[in-house]
Structure 1
Amino acid sequence: MRSSVEAAAFQKDWFKNTRQRLSDGEPFVLANADTPHELFLTMDIPVVMTQWWSAILSAKRLSPTYFDLMNERGYQRGLCRYCSLPLACAMDHNPERAPWGGLPRPTLLLARLTCDAQTKIFERLAREYNATFFPLEHGAPTSSYPRWWERIKDHWDEVIESHRLDLMVEELKTLIRFLEVTTGKTFSHARLMDVMELINRQEEYYKKTRDLIAATVPCPVSLTDQIASTMNSQWHRGTPWGLHHARMFYEEVKERVEKGEAACRNEKARLMWIGPGLWHNTAFYRYFEEKYGAVFVCSIYLSLAADGYARNVANDPLRALASRHVSMTEFLYHRDWLVKEAKLHGVRGAVIIVSRSCIRPVGGSVGWKLTRMAFEAAGIPVLPIYSDVVDAREWNDAEVTSQVSKFIEEKVLPISGP
C-alpha cells in the first residue's frame, strides 16, 4: 500500500534529519512506548521509542548478533528481549553495524516501571550511554476497568482512579521542570492542548479505518500493511504529518473497499494476532492467506489506536495526558476488550505469541492462559506460539508454520462455514 511505503520512508528520513539535529547539539530522549512522548513534542525535543528501535533491529536481521553479544558478556538468555535489544545494540559500540548509524547518545532515558526488568535495563542503558534515567512509577490499579473503551474518551477522569492520575501528574510536572532546566526548552500548556486536539483528530481516522476493515469481507488490507501504517504514524501522533498519514491510510483503505480490492480474494476465515508484531518475519502472515484463505485481520496496533488514545482534553491537558499513559498497559492487555475486537472483526481463531522471557498479561509467560480462557468462553479457539517477536534465534519457521496450519485445518475452518 502507498501509505505503508510512505510511512517507512518518512520514518527513515526523520531519523536521518534527527541525527543531524543532534549533531548540532540538540537534546534527545530515548523512551519506552508507554511513556508520554507528547511532552517532548510540545517542547520540540526529538524522542525515539525503544520498542520501535527493537523492531528495526529485528527487521534488519541483527537481533541474533546483538543477543549473542549480550549473552557472551554474561547476561542471561531469558532476559526480556523486546525491551533489552536496544541495550544489546548500545553495548556493541559499532555504529557501522547498526541501522542508519545507530542511536546517538540520549540526553534522557524514560521508562514506566511496569515490570521489574524495566528498571535494570534502563539503569544499564544509562550507564552505557552516560545519560540520565528518569523512571515513572506505575501506580497500582484498583479497578478492572470493565468496558473501558465505551467511556474512556469523554469520561477518562471517572474511568481512571484519581490516585493514579494524581501520581502521574506530579511526576510529569517534575519531568517538565527537569527538561526545562537541562535543555533550556520551555513547556507550554497551550501547545500541549493543541497537540492533544490534533491527536484526537488523528485517532478518529484510525477508528474509521478499523471499523471499515472490520465490516468489510474480504478484508481490504493485509495485517502487515495495517501494522506498518499505524505504528509509524503513531510515533508521530500530534504532528501534522501524523494526521496527514492517518487520513491517507483511511482514504486508501476506503478506496480499496470501493474498488473491491482485498488482501486475499479467496478469504475463508479470519484470524486475530495477539501480541507485538513478528518483526523478524513480517511475511509470515501472508502464507496462510495463500494456502487456506485464512487472513489475519486485526492486531493490537490499529485496535488500540481506534479505542485507547483519544481524550476529551477539557481544560487540563496534562491530566488528560496522564490518563492516556497510566492505563495503557491495562487497556492493551484487557481480555474483554480483545474479545470485543475479535467479535467486531468476525474472527474465527486467534494466535497468541507467547514469550517465556516476558511476564506481560497477554503475551507473557503467565497471562496468556487467562486470555485463552476468555476467548474460548466466547467460542473462539486460541493457538499459543512459544517464540519471541524480536529474537530470531527462537523462531523455527517450519515448526510454527506447521502448528498454525494444523490449527487452521482442525479448529478454524470447521467453524468458519463453507
Structure 2
Amino acid sequence: MSTSATQVIDCSALYQRAEADRIAPSMYYDPALFEAELQKIFYKTWVCIAHESELPNPGDFVTAMIGRQPVIVARDKDRIVHVMENRCRHRGATVCEEHRGNAKGFVCPYHSWSYGLDGSLRALPYGDGYEGIVEKSDLPLVNLKTSSYQGLIFASFNHDVEPLEDFLGGAKPWIDLFMKQGAGFPIKTTGAHKFRFKGNWKIQVENTTDLYHFPVVHKSWLKSIDEETHKIVTSFMDNDKAFVRGLGNGHSIAVLMPELIDLDQDNGDPLPTRFNALIEELLKTYSPEQTRRIVRSLFGVGFNVNLFPNLALSMAFIRVLRPVSVEETEVSQISIGMDGGPEAANRERMRIHEHFQGPFGFGSPDDTEAWERVQRGSHAGPDIPILVNRGMNRERTSDNGEKTAHSTDETGMRELYAMWRKMMEQE
C-alpha cells in the first residue's frame, strides 16, 4: 500500500467519510482512498472473475483484471479451474495477452519460460545457467484462492479469506433463484458489452438496487417498449410486495416483480402477446408446459442482486465492474442464455439485452450519463454530503439482521457502505 493511502485510512476519517446515512463527496475522488480500497477490498475479499460456461473444455482460458492486476482463468486437463497472476516469475512479463482461447500451457514471449494450465513451471531454456540456483517447483505462476458458486467463479489474492459460501451468506438463495431462468437448461454467457465511464466504482455499485432512479433515468427506454411491458416493469412503484433488502456483507436485493421471484412457481398470468410468433415456433418442438416456462424466463427474474464488491445479477444479465482509477470504472454487461436451449429463444433474449444494455440500447447510456454527472457534481461543494438516507424511517430489521424497506429506498446503499467501513477499518 502506498504511503499516502496509509495516511488517509484511520478510524476517525472513516466515520467522517461514510456515516450510516451519508458519505463524503471525496469518497468518489480521493486518489489515496482509492489506492487503499484496492488493497483493503479488491485484493482482500472474493471478486467475481468469470463464469464456468466460458471454460467448457480442458485447456480453455480467459484473461481478466482484478483492479490493476492481470490474471488468467484456466481449466486444466482434470477440469479444475485455476486463477493465476498473469506474470512470468522471471522478469515479470505477462504470459498471455489473448482474451480467450484454448491452450496446452502458457509461454512467456520474453525468455520462453513455459507454464502448465495449473501454473506450474514446466521448462526454461538454457537451464544450465540455473543449475543449483532455481528449482522449477519453487517458481509457478502465483495461484489465487479460487472457488465457485452456481457457475460463478470467484477469486481472491487473500488465501486466508473466509469460505466463499460464508461470504455470500444471505445472497445465496437469491443467486439460486436467478439461475432458474435457464428454464431447465444450464445458464451460459453469450457475450458482453464492455465499456468505461468517468466515475468512481462505488457509484455503479450503488445503482444496482437503486429502484428510485428507474422511472426517471430510464424514461427513454420506457417510451420504447410496448404498453404491456411498460405496465409490468413499472408496477413495483405501487406494489406493496416489492422491496429492497440488505443481505449482509455488503450484498443487497431489490425486488421489482414479486410474481417472477421464483420462475418455477407459475401464477398462470397470460404470456405477453409480443411473443406470440416465438410461442408458435417453440410449440413445434417443445410441450406447451416447457414452451411456457421458456417464454416466462425471457425477461429473467423479477429482481436485482448486488454482490459486494463487483458483481450484479440484474434480472436477465450479469454485470461485472472493475475499478480502473479513482475516477474511471470498467463495466461488462454480460448477456446470458440457455445452454442447449432453443436458439430462437436465445436470440430473443439477446435482442432484449441489446435493447437495454447494448451499446445502442436505451438503458445503459442513460445510466452512464447519470453516473458521470454524479462524479462531476461531487467536486462541487466538497463539504456537502451525498445522502443515502431514503427510507430509514420505514426500514424493518428481521431476526437475522437483514433490513428491508420500500423498493425505492436506499437500504442497499447503506448495506454497501456498512461493509465498506468494515473492510477499510481492518489492519
- TM-score bracket for the superposition, by shorter chain length: under 0.3
Given the two structures, how large is their TM-score scaled by the length of structure 1?
Answer: 0.23
Between Structure 1 and Structure 2, the one with more strand by share is 2
Structure label with greater radius of gyration: 2
TM-score when normalising by structure 2 = 0.23
Normalized per residue, the structure richer in helix is: 1
